[in-house]
Structure 1
């Protein structure tokens, strides 16, 4: 049995909700939690504040919706990369490439994950997502150690966290909104250099001889 298609009113309602969440995410990425309010979202969207409350809610609901949006977009990119075939180091490279693509396609959501809001309740699901993704990265490192591709003297949990921090730092240079932002060509060179250093540093060179 076919599901009923949404009506024009329902589609417009959902489109407005997405617009509100996108604007809330942009405010968070630009100015942090303190700058976010239903009134500021309404001003930027050129709508009545009551529309924001009706479609999403107040500040707490806006924070939660922005966080959920960032999490869903991140999972969409990263889960596909972790499922790809290949050796552990090759899959780590693919994970880094997927994170880069996420940052390029969804820079606001990326910045929310790289620098979560200071509201702890809102940040909790984002922190949980980071832990979830780092656990997958840790497992890849363990697989690499087991098969002899990754050096055995690393600590997988610590290294997974370090890789997450390094990727965040380098990727942020390409999507931030200030004078520290690198131009595209320079950013790609920095990213390629960082990827080389990471993969070369992880490789068990003794096993390769």
Structure 2
């Protein structure tokens, strides 16, 4: 059983951790290509450098913590939306990246495990939404949902890295991510829903090129 003092210490620890991550984001926005050191983060967050290390960890852990915060925010947004629509899962994910492009791009470039950035919330939600579509008879019963979601995730990660590198803009990032999903949905559609799921592909403009 946690004591009142223990609960207060935990809250203070969480507050300091949040302040450290907020300070990191502020530093990134101030200087998109600047070196982010423990000392600079500590100064901005008004904590000791040792506190940054103890609450977050070494440099690689800072990017991991930023990514975890990113996924937490996405989970909150999808929970509010209900996110039963696979396209809404993709749209919400892309939207969150492009809302804070400086932090998103540095997080993806600097974090060695950035290929995993979409593995937690988006793929979990996407699998769930696609499984629900299968249960409702929109997708064929013989398709493998996990495999289809993995294909979409791989394509979305590719689009993400193109966006991070500045090779495509925000609109093309979204268009390419949705294109990957729409191809998978159309290919796995039940007969009664095939024409409807093909429509986004047939009416798509040039944004994916």
TM-score of the pair, normalised by structure 2: 0.58
TM-score of the pair, normalised by structure 1: 0.58
Matching residue within 176, 182, 198 for 1:196 = 182
Unaligned runs of 5+ in 2: 1-15, 195-209
CA distance in 2, matches of 1:135, 1:83: 16
Corresponding residue for 2:53? Answer: 57
CA distance in 1, matches of 2:48, 2:119: 29
Unaligned runs of 5+ in 1: 1-12
RMSD: 4.3
- SS of residue matched to 1:154: coil
- SS of residue matched to 1:57: helix
CA distance in 1, matches of 2:79, 2:22: 30
Establish whether residue 66 from structure 1 lines up as the match of residue 63 from structure 2. Answer: yes
Matching residue within 103, 106, 113 for 2:97 = 103
Matching residue within 179, 187, 193 for 1:208 = 193
Corresponding residue for 1:94? Answer: 88
- SS of residue matched to 2:25: helix
Alpha-carbon shift at residue 22 of structure 1 (Å): 2.7
Q: Is the 1:93–1:195 Cα contact (8 Å) retained in structure 2?
A: yes
- SS of residue matched to 1:130: coil
Return structure 1 stretches of 4+ with deviation > 4 angstroms.
13-16, 23-26, 113-116, 126-129, 184-189
Corresponding residue for 2:112? Answer: 117
Aligned residues: 174
CA distance in 2, matches of 1:150, 1:56: 48
Alpha-carbon shift at residue 92 of structure 1 (Å): 0.6
Corresponding residue for 2:142? Answer: 153
Q: Is the 2:159–2:177 Cα contact (8 Å) retained in structure 1?
A: yes
